[in-house]
Amino acid sequence: MRVIRALAAAALATTFLVGAGQASRAAAGELPSVTAFFNDPGSQVNKWVAANPNDSRRARIASRIASQPQGVWFSRYTPGTVTEDVRKVTSAASAKGQVPVLVAYQLPNRDCGGASAGGAPDLASYDAWMRGFAAGLGSGPSVVILEPDSIALISCLSPAELSGRYASLARASATIHAAAPKARVYFDAGHSAWNSPAVQASRLRSAGVLSSGDGIYSNVSNYRRTADEVAFAKAVLAQFGGSSGLTAVIDTSRNGNGPAPGDTWCDPRGRKVGENPTAGTGDPAIDAYLWIKPPGELDGCAGAAGSFSPDYAYEMAG
């Protein structure tokens, strides 16, 4: 009898969690096809364009890259100012009637100690930072890209660390929805040449995407072709069944020429920007093509990770 009661309680808890996830998605609403995304005047590329009026590379970079809305990354651990920093972006976007794309990038052990290592010192500090992040989102619509690589790249984590990460991601999304009901939160799906749809979906479930997420994202900071990423994202979504309500966004910022030879991912040459950011994808499963990784910002091989290279931007804009 106790076993039956325990199974019934577990089923009820699962129903509640899925129901809570569907409620959060209903509150966030759909991403209309006419959505105008926010182009941050404080982005590195916009600052470079403003500071270099006579540079021979300026016109191409300005017209092809700086003109497009891009993700605003919160990758420096500044817990004392994160609410103010986020509010500055969301308030500016709201004033223009635009939707900001914000990238939360502060999990401990991010990038498994690679070129983009850093983040909060521990999960308790991360949870506190996320509360500050969420407090700055405001009442308007926003898109939150939750922790790139956090679910696709887990090789450096022990089972206990992985369990803690998954729980923290679920809390993060719930925190965002509680503070900003119109925010849409997307979880990490890696990309089409990384983990299989079944493996990635299993990890996404463990991270709470069904209970607290609005969707998934694919190809952040990578170069896979859009058609491949759309097919992959749909294959991941199919693992959740037709009633999940989840959708996807694709990073098209650097995939205009597809992947580099040998699938080199760290500042490969000969890459180009892809489709411009738009919510008018014509596909109900794909909410938007976004420029999540700003073109011209480095991966950590040709310069410091996240730094802006006008040479690299110029090549990508060609």
Catalytic residues: 111, 149, 299
Encode the chain in three state secondary structure. CHHHHHHHHHHHHHHHHHHHHHHHHHHHCCCCCCCCECCCCCCHHHHHHHHCCCCCCHHHHHHHHHCCCCCEEECCCCCCCHHHHHHHHHHHHHHCCCECEEEECCCCCHHHHCCCCCCCCCHHHHHHHHHHHHHCCCCCCEEEEECCCCCCCCCCCCHHHHHHHHHHHHHHHHHHHHHCCCEEEEEECCCCCCCCHHHHHHHHHHCCHHHHCCEEEECCCCCCCHHHHHHHHHHHHHCCCCCCCCEEEEECCCCCCCCCHHHCCCCCCCCCCCCCCECCCCCCCEEEEECCCCCCECCCCCCCCCCECHHHHHHHHC
